[in-house]
Amino acid sequence: MTNFLIKHLIKNADDVKNDQVREAYGTLTSLISILCNAVLCVFKMLVGILSHSVSIQADALNNLSDAGSNVATLFGFKLAGKHPDSDHPYGHGRIEYITGMIIAFLIILVALSSFKESVTKIFHPEAISFSYVTLGVLLFSIAVKLWMGYFNRKIGDKIDSSSLKAASQDSLNDVISTSATLFSLVFAKFNSFPIDGYIGFFVSIFVFKAGLDVFSDTVTPLLGKAPDPAFVNAIHEFVMSHESVIGVHDLMVHDYGPSRCFITLHAEVSSDADLLAIHDEIDQIEREMLEKFHALTTIHMDPIVTNDPFTNELREKTASCVKEINENYSIHDFRIVPGPTHTNLIFDVVLPADDYRDEIALKKVIDEKIKQINPKYYTVINVDHSYI
């Protein structure tokens, strides 16, 4: 079914990096999800009212909130696909994350409403009327939600959409909550204990947690989530595969939403190389990065001395001194400025993002280690933090 829909309703389906194709996927998935959730909501609400089951009614409201979430996702894809303008030069891709937050709030709101109704039902229980029609509706709902979970996950993975992946997980959560409601209905046929309110209570807590998870998944990229290590490694390996590049540092990945990625990095090159030739190669790497990673890339050239044995040896010794303090530390932009009374060792030290070590104390420790090599060595250190 999924492949059939994609084949007949999405043009150029394999070109998922194209904004129009991506929007078409999002529109198709949202419309189908809205239809499915609306149908399920109507059937469940009718059955819930007729059977006096608050857990089934709570499940129906959950489907209603899901439909509202799908509407928000639909508008999110439409707005996120807008071209950059003077006020938003990086595009509108982050709107998709904002719609994810709206989805999360709707889920949490429904969970709180269901919680209230379930508590009332616990203290003032009503008998549940079992019927095979009700049983059939719930089984049908589970089957539909299983398919929706698969459908949203497949499309979400294909176009790398966090909102569709969240919708997929939400559908699977609904399978669990509806299964709990089904258990409540079957239990009522063979036992008079008013379990319905308790089942509704736990379902509402489960839905509430799902809302918090969706909220966390959408807020994280807005706050500045670290890039995927595999993506970082791929960038590093690709840039280093070019003959003129000796090293890479100060790599930063900026996420402005799906298909809105910007990369900046420093590439170390030999100070003896032809400046115009190196500049031309750096420009070529930037163009290749756009084609390979679909990311606008800015590369800063850092010339370093490579043919002086003394400088190379001192660089290695300095790096070893820094590694002795913490194996996760590294150095770059190393150069020396010799003088008649002392020699300055100028370099940057890179610390992990979560390392809050006192910079002044760190510089002092490094300087003491360097002076053990030669008392006439003085350090000029700049402390950086990694953004990957």
CA nearest neighbour of 346 among 337, 354, 355: 337
pLDDT interval class at 366 (50, 70, 90): very high
Q: State mean pLDDT over 131-153.
A: 85
278 and 158: one domain? no
The tokens for 257 are 């939403």
pLDDT at 281: 93
Three-state DSSP class for residue 42: helix
pLDDT tens-place string over residues 302-322:
888 888 899 999 999 999 999
| End residue of a domain, out of 223, 250, 282 | 223
207 and 244: one domain? no
Pairwise CA distance, residues 126 & 283, whole Å = 73
Cβ proximity of 34 and 71 under 8 Å:
yes
Q: Which of 37-51, 247-261, 265-279 has the highest mean pLDDT?
A: 265-279
pLDDT tens-place string over residues 7-35:
767 887 777 777 778 888 888 888 899 99
143 and 110: one domain? yes
Could you tell me which residue, 89 or 287, shows the higher pLDDT? Answer: 287
Give Cβ neighbours of residue 289 (< 8 Å, ≥ 6 apart): 235, 238, 239, 263, 295, 297
How many domains are there within the chain? 2
160 and 244: one domain? no
Starting at the edge strand found earlier in the chain, the sheet holding 261-270 runs 247-255, 261-270, 295-304
Q: Is pLDDT at 129 greater than 70 in this prediction?
A: no
State the sign of the Cα–Cα–Cα–Cα dihedral 175, 180, 182, 183: positive
Q: Is pLDDT at 200 greater than 80 in this prediction?
A: no
pLDDT at 59: 73
| End residue of a domain, out of 223, 244, 271 | 223
Could you tell me which residue, 205 or 349, shows the higher pLDDT? Answer: 349
204 and 272: one domain? no
Q: State mean pLDDT over 70-92.
A: 80
DSSP characters for 191-258?
--S--HHHHHHHHHHHHHHHHHHHHHHHHHHHH-PPPPHHHHHHHHHHHHTSTT--EEEEEEEEE-ST
Could you tell me which residue, 336 or 55, shows the higher pLDDT? Answer: 336
Return the CATH number at 346: 3.30.70.1350
pLDDT tens-place string over residues 225-264:
888 889 999 999 999 999 899 999 999 998 887 768 899 9
264 and 354: one domain? yes
Distances (CA, A) of 96 to 110, 118, 161, 245, 327: 21, 33, 8, 37, 39
317 and 191: one domain? no
Percent over 90 (pLDDT), the chain: 28
Q: State mean pLDDT over 45-59.
A: 75
β-strand 247-255 against 261-270: which pairing, if any?
antiparallel
103 and 249: one domain? no
Q: State mean pLDDT over 189-215.
A: 79
pLDDT tens-place string over residues 146-197:
999 888 888 888 887 777 877 787 788 788 777 877 787 788 777 777 777 7
| End residue of a domain, out of 171, 201, 223 | 223
Pairwise CA distance, residues 313 & 374, whole Å = 13
Return the CATH number at 176: 1.20.1510.10
Average pLDDT in the chain: 84
198 and 236: one domain? no
Pairwise CA distance, residues 172 & 167, whole Å = 9
325 and 353: one domain? yes
352 and 298: one domain? yes
The tokens for 159 are 């176009």
Three-state DSSP class for residue 140: helix
Pairwise CA distance, residues 96 & 6, whole Å = 21
73 and 169: one domain? yes
pLDDT at 94: 82
Cβ proximity of 125 and 196 under 8 Å:
yes
Q: Is pLDDT at 122 greater than 70 in this prediction?
A: yes
pLDDT tens-place string over residues 321-345:
999 999 999 999 898 998 888 999 9
pLDDT interval class at 128 (50, 70, 90): low
Q: Is pLDDT at 288 greater than 80 in this prediction?
A: yes
Q: The domain containing residue 289 runs over which residues?
A: 229-385
Half-sphere exposure of 56 (CA within 13 A, CB side): 31
Is pTM, for the whole model, over 0.85? no
Q: Is pLDDT at 284 greater than 90 in this prediction?
A: yes
Chain centroid to Cα 276, Å, comes to 39
DSSP characters for 116-128?
HHHHHHHHS----
